[in-house]
Amino acid sequence: MSKIKKIEAITDLSVYTKFTKDEGMFQIEARVYSMVTPRGNIYDHDIQDIEIEFLINNKKVKHNGFKTLYTQLYGENTYTKYYIEKSEEFEEAYFKTTTYKTK
């Protein structure tokens, strides 16, 4: 019978990071989910998801309700752009604050 040889083992870390941001009239809670893989003295990051929830007067509101309110206040076709911008801000905050450095 042939011998089984271990060739490689990769350790990935599942990282969950929660952020908040006060936008004045409302607040945002964001959760960033990422997989982190060590590569020597640095880490590779694969962000799996960014979940965003909105709060008014510190109470969570339904996503569709907030989207409707935002659209009524700022016009048609503004919400998607806003949501993408906020997702990018939280992604940037994740990379700035992670203990698993990329450089």
Confidence of residue 48 (pLDDT cuts 50, 70, 90): very high
CA 89 to chain centre: 9
Residue 58 is classified by DSSP as T
From the list 31, 34, 8, the residue with the least C-alpha distance to 100 is 34
Give mean pLDDT, residues 56-74: 95
Q: How many CB atoms lie within 10 A of CB 91?
A: 16
Q: Is the pLDDT of residue 9 over 90?
A: no
Q: What is the mean pLDDT of residues 28-36?
A: 96
pTM of the entire structure? 0.85
Checking if the pLDDT of 36 tops 80, the result is: yes
